[in-house]
Chains A and B, each alone.
Chain A
């Protein structure tokens, strides 16, 4: 079955530690995205990538970093510079850059708690 996987589902880290969240897709999608969701809030875009070896900052990129070395993979690193990292992190992908109705498919998410 094609889809998007994120691991781990729950992650606990101590304040001041960097942590990397995994996102893998086997849908052959060009575009991948990282979002953050806080309780009672909508999804906010952290980073996105439309092609391998290229990525762009979203609305809240400060304190985060990404890489896109393979089409299938788009890991997100939450650095110690992120002031309030505890949140639900969602990875998504979509098939075409310029298709008008390129809906996104989401992974199951990672709940990060920084203690």
Chain B
């Protein structure tokens, strides 16, 4: 059974802090990786894809470690508006199609 594990938190940090989340996955053949953001009672929205070489989008940095089977998300200079649940998603190839498995999410609370 495919597993994607995340620390549920909550991570409670002050504005301006740097915070990091990890996500581990069980299938070494997993193909692609994403971080989504989900606000309370809303649908998930793509935050960023995670590339093998690591990638950055403004204050957000995502990294992939295939050897240890985890991905990470680093948020620098946290804003109040970053408060949300961050979902890790891993795509596996099944029957010629990519099937995503979601982690349970990590809750982030940024306070003044």
Contacts and interface: CB of A to CB of B under 8 A. Distances in A.
Contacts of A104: 46, 89, 100
B47 to A, nearest CB: 10
Interface in B23-62: 31-32, 34, 41-46, 49
A94 B42 CA distance: 19
Contacts of B22: none
Interface stretch (A42-50, A62-70, A73-81): A42-50
Nearest to A88: B41
Contact of A42 (B34, B46, B91, B103): B103
Contacts of A58: 99
Interface magnitude class on chain A = 20 to 34
Nearest to B2: A59
Contacts, number: 60
B49 A103 contact: yes
Interface string B49-84: 100000000000000000000000000000000000
B49 A43 contact: no
Nearest to B43: A106
Interface magnitude class on chain B = 20 to 34
Interface string A2-46: 000000000000000000000000000001010100001111110
B78 to A, nearest CB: 23
A98 B96 contact: yes
Interface of B: 4, 8, 31-32, 34, 41-46, 49, 87, 89, 91, 95-105
CB-based closest 5 A-B pairs? A106-B43, A42-B104, A43-B102, A42-B102, A103-B46
